[in-house]
Amino acid sequence: MHIIGWIVFGLVVGIVAKFLMPGRDPGGFVITALIGIVGAVVGGFVGRVLGLYKEGDPVGFVMAVIGAIILLAVYRFTIGRTATA
């Protein structure tokens, strides 16, 4: 059940990241959702490792969204560059 929770959380984070970073994504909704899941895991892990918060703190959502936005920006930069080249 814990993994399903992370997937649902990641989907929500991916949607929020996409909303905060509008524009065309080369991969569409599915890739954005996957980036949200990975961003949630990475952002949450980094925030806890740095001691910014503990597991379950509401700020974890913010770190997850920041992680997803960074991954989405990297994805757009790398995929967008190869698609136009």
Is the pLDDT assigned to residue 1 strictly greater than 70? no
Please tell me the distance from the alpha carbon of residue 65 to that of residue 12, in angstroms, as a whole number: 9
Structure tokens at 42: 């990475």
The pLDDT of residue 39 is 79
| Distance, CA of 18 to CA of 49 (rounded, Å) | 26
In eight-state DSSP terms, residue 22 is -
pLDDT value of position 26: 66
Mean pLDDT of 15-33: 76
32 or 15: which leads in pLDDT: 15
Q: Which amino acid is at 11?
A: L
Read off the pLDDT of residues 2-15 as tens digits, 9 standing for 90 and up: 777 777 887 888 88
Q: What is the pTM of this model?
A: 0.74
Residue written as token pair 């959380």:
9
